[in-house]
A and B are shown apart, each in its own frame.
Chain A
Amino acid sequence: MPHDPYKALYLHIPFCVKRCGYCDFATRAIDRDDPRIDEYVEQLVVDIRRFCKQGELSEIETVYIGGGTPSHIGLNRLSSLLYALSLSVDLTRDGLEFTMEANPESLTERMVLDIWAMGVNRLSLGVQSFDDEVLAILGRAHDAARAKEAIETARLRFDSVSIDLMCGVPGQSASSLEESVKTAVELGIPHVSMYPLTIEPHTAFDRAVLSGEMQEPDDDVEAEHMQIAAHILEEAGYSRYEVASYALPGYESKHNSSYWTGVPYLGIGQNATSMTQNSDRRMRVMNNEVIDDLDRRQMEAEDLMLGMRMSIGVSDERVAAAAEYLPEVYDVLNDLENEGFLVHDLSRWRPTTQGWLCGNDLYGRILDLAP
């Protein structure tokens, strides 16, 4: 279909040194020398060039290489990928954000120097915790010392570094979490993504919970952990710009924000999702399969829903535009405000902490505007 230009590009690297107990992502643990990785990267390069020739990459403003573990595939393969990208996307565009994910165990100094030289300007590290016990429970391939080393190495070139941290891990105490968050602050990491552990079906953790070997994460504990993290980070000058994302001023992720603001994105690689839209229709496509096909009403409702993940919420103008398609929107927003999920001030509708903590209620009610 004729569509609005893609602004965000995502490349998926579905390989890891090992699979963590909680992981349900599209990835597999294979040796870094495995020729299947070469084949996969070759295909990515072909696809990137093809999309470039079709003109789909001319307005890309953010690039994100995620996984899996992109650093696991090694510098040689990353180099060919980055080279193909440099030919296909204008990486020198003003304000272009180019993130690569890396795990502490496979990030090397050489890699940091080279990927920076080839255009990557933001590094996202899968740290998860600075507590060795928690890392062992999660089944991570690194320990806290290695995580700190990796951060230091990243700092050789990258100013914009993000780390992921997890809370609500069975066996993780509030003080362990507090320590990890404080460590991030002390190290001056400008962006932190903070997630409660989720037990996904078909993971090792899922089996452990079902058989009783592992305690299921507790909602109250998770909520408490999220509040502890919010308190420490906000105290230290971070803003919680999205329900699970904290940044020092100017370090918000543009790429991630595009998922929540109705910006079309192109995903390349296994299980990478693309969002293609025009003014009447929005589709999400994964592995050549349409997984969502929304009409304009549904698009409006979805944008409002996703907007409520962000602390700035949704502007009055945006709501007024949505109201053309969803006349009941004001009733629903007013109800949600009365119930304490939203506030309306400064010409914006924003989620409250309560709204964020009971996200499924909030999001579900908004999506119901256009089922």
Chain B
Amino acid sequence: MMDIERERGITIKSQAVRVNYTSDDGDTYEFNLIDTPGHVDFTYEVSRSLAACEGAVLVVDATQGVEAQTVANAMMAMNANLEIIPLINKIDLPASDPERAKEQIEDGLAIPADDAVLCSAKTGEGVHDLLEAIVYNIPAPQGDIDAPLRALIFDSYFDAYRGVVALIRVVDGSVKKGDTIYMMAAGTEALVEEVGARKPAEIALPDLSAGDVGYLVTGLKDVAQVKVGDTLTLSSRRAIEPLPGYRDVKPMVFTGLYPIEGDQYEPLKEALEKLALNDPALVWEPETSHALGFGFRVGFLGLLHMEVVEERLEREFGLNLLATAPSVEYHVLKKNGEMISLHSPQEMPDPSEIEHIEEPYLRVKVLVPPDYVGPVMDLTNSRRGTFVNMNYLSSTTVEVIWEMPLSEMIMDYFDRLKSSTKGYASLDYEMAGYRVSKLVKLDILLAGKPVDALSFIVHADNAYNRGSILARKLKEIIPRQMFEVPIQAAVGGRVLARTTVKAKRKDVLAKCYGGDITRKRKLLEKQKEGKKRMKAIGSVEVPQEAFMAILKVDE
């Protein structure tokens, strides 16, 4: 488990384990279990894990009930024709409401919940029931042990001593040490150096055959040669049809990552390469910013993925990084008929060359108690969302469906959604294609000079509003310097909003009665925080927080 997973209580990487269980019927069964992440950013991890399984245990938190991600993951499991066992967990907590969870599972997911297992993973209550339910409800793997080998690679990682290790589910045939395997999509071959199972420690086995889940050591040096979703077969006896794979993972959110100290560029590059060995979803290309120097434009699956990667880069590799505000991939049709993809506002062509700009839209599903539909509507409307429809899943849960631009989603939408619904709302989304939007690039000028790393793309109707808020936020965040720093928000050279960080000579002697004291404390804390991590842009010291300020556009 990664530190981040433990601290945040989330699963990021799938884990596979094999256990033997002696059932009440006296027989011993072999379970191959795969734990999957739940967050929408890691949907691809779920989909590929499900493809390797016969059944799924759908875990619902008895205190939270069915969440939007529960629905999404249940749908994936149904589409994969898996047997589903509903499990209601955390029943030991005083706030748990298993009956409500059951009702939601039936109404919202159309899964019979009469036999849902009630369980507390903490106390162990109900765990026996779950294991019995797996024995009785989930079919044993089908598959032809005599057919040519077909095994699905559902995860792979790089091990410095052994090369690339693949986690596989064998569907047909068998594989053993010494076999030469062939990756059907990649077209590469490798010698099998070891096979085995994780229990959870890795135990080498003579072979893996139809129905088994295990690991396979290849000795290959490049993880890209062992692609997740690919089908393994034997070189000497190739299967004809590969297993259904899954689509390539596409990054949705892009951000600039820059080392705060210039000499950390190479270490950052090496760190990204190392992380990518185990994270095929991580993509990057070099980027140069006038303001920030040399860095990388990095693509992520979503904001959580971004946060996790940034945190790992800092923690595991000791880097001190500055991240720019995330942006999405825009498509720009130029007047000359050329269509270009932008991963960064800096790549925006001159407005005179642009025919139109398209931005990615999402179909967003929010599950929320009926009382909070109003606040969700207000929030989503303010984010250029278009209402699609609304269904009552149960008396306590409404499903509201929207279409909204991805760029609005990444602006703190999830946190705002949570706070405007007292934490009750849950969210799921899927891509809904590109649409033409009236977009402009908003530039921020510090001391009269545009700072490329602070510019962002915004809907023309929101430019003034967002520009004003950002100018004001920057004024709060950028500490006073020895000279005055004018801040301007401009579109195409037209200044929409301006403000000034005054020279550090005098402070405002604001009144300070009663509640003002609290405000004063907060202000001083904020200023102190801002001084911690600074980057010199020209002659202006700018704290890291400034680059993320645009994400917090609601006040």
Query: Chain A: residues with CB nearer than 8 A to chain B?
Result: 10, 193, 195-196, 198, 201-202, 206-207, 209-212, 216, 218-220, 222-223, 226, 243-244, 256, 259-260, 265, 267, 271-273, 275, 284, 286, 291-292, 302, 306, 309, 356-361, 363-364, 367-368, 371
Contacts and interface: CB of A to CB of B under 8 A. Distances in A.
A216 B527 contact: no
- For the complex of A and B, 9 pairs with smallest distance between CB atoms: A273-B515, A273-B514, A360-B507, A210-B497, A223-B506, A364-B524, A357-B506, A219-B506, A210-B468
A220 B505 contact: yes
A357 B507 contact: yes
Contacts of A260: 512
Contact of A211 (B497, B518, B524, B527): B497
How would you classify the secondary structure of chain A's contact residues: helix, strand, loop or mixed?
Answer: mixed
Given A196-B508, A219-B506, A284 B515 contact: yes
Contact of A291 (B471, B509, B518, B523): B518
Interface in B82-138: none
Interface string B508-521: 11111111011011
A356 B499 CA distance: 24
Contacts of B447: none
Given A243-B509, A361-B507, A272 B514 contact: yes
Contacts of B521: 292, 302, 367
Contact of B514 (A198, A202, A206, A275): A275
A223 B498 contact: no
A306 B468 contact: no
Given A219-B505, A243-B509, A371 B525 contact: yes
19 contacts: A193-B511, A196-B509, A198-B508, A202-B555, A209-B498, A211-B497, A216-B499, A219-B507, A223-B505, A273-B518, A356-B509, A358-B504, A359-B509, A360-B524, A361-B507, A367-B521, A367-B525, A368-B528, A371-B525
A357 B460 CA distance: 41
Given A196-B508, A206-B472, A210-B472, 14 more contacts: A193-B511, A201-B555, A209-B498, A210-B468, A210-B497, A212-B495, A219-B508, A222-B509, A271-B515, A273-B518, A275-B517, A357-B506, A358-B507, A360-B507
A220 B498 CA distance: 19
B517 A210 contact: no
B502 interface: yes
Interface in B257-288: none
B250 to A, nearest CB: 38
B159 to A, nearest CB: 43
Contacts of B511: 193, 195, 244
Main SS class of interface, B: mixed
B503 interface: yes
Contacts of B525: 367, 371
Interface string B458-496: 000000000010011000000000000000000000011
B500 interface: yes
Contacts of A259: 512-514, 517
Nearest to A298: B521
Contact of A210 (B471, B503, B508, B528): B471
A285 to B, nearest CB: 10
A366 to B, nearest CB: 9
A267 B516 CA distance: 13
Contacts of B499: 209-210, 216
Interface in B2-32: none
A199 to B, nearest CB: 9
Taking each of A193, A272, A361, which has the highest tally of chain B beta carbons within 10 Å of its own beta carbon? A361
Given A267-B514, A367-B524, A216 B500 contact: yes
Given A360-B507, A364-B527, A364-B528, A265 B555 contact: no
Contacts of B528: 364, 368, 371
Given A212-B498, A363-B524, A195 B505 contact: no
Nearest to B464: A211
Contacts of A210: 468, 471-472, 497-499
Contacts of B472: 201, 206, 210
Contact of A219 (B497, B503, B510): B503
A267 B514 CA distance: 8
Contacts of B502: 218-219
Contact of B517 (A195, A222, A302, A368): A302
A356 B508 CA distance: 10
A24 to B, nearest CB: 10
A209 B487 CA distance: 12
Contacts of A368: 528
A187 to B, nearest CB: 23
Contacts of B500: 216
B416 to A, nearest CB: 18
B29 to A, nearest CB: 54
Contacts of B515: 267, 271-273, 284, 286, 291
Given A212-B495, A219-B503, A244-B509, A306 B517 contact: yes
A10 B514 CA distance: 9
Contacts of A212: 495, 497-498
Contacts of B524: 360, 363-364, 367
Contacts of A216: 499-500
B498 to A, nearest CB: 6
Nearest to A286: B515
B512 A309 contact: yes
A260 B515 CA distance: 12
A55 B512 CA distance: 28
A178 to B, nearest CB: 18
A209 B91 CA distance: 56
Contacts of A363: 520, 524
A275 to B, nearest CB: 7
Given A210-B468, A260-B512, A292 B506 contact: no
Nearest to A272: B514
Contacts of B497: 210-212
A363 B505 CA distance: 15
A292 B518 contact: yes
Contacts of A219: 502-503, 505-508
A196 to B, nearest CB: 6
Contacts of B508: 196, 198, 219, 222
Contacts of A193: 511
Contacts of B520: 363
A358 B506 contact: yes
B357 to A, nearest CB: 26
Contacts of A195: 509-511
Interface string B197-219: 00000000000000000000000
Nearest to A8: B514
Given A360-B527, A367-B521, A265 B505 contact: no
Contacts of A309: 512
A12 to B, nearest CB: 9
B245 to A, nearest CB: 52
Nearest to B507: A360
A210 B465 CA distance: 10
Contacts of B468: 207, 210-211
B513 A256 contact: yes
Nearest to A224: B506
B224 to A, nearest CB: 47
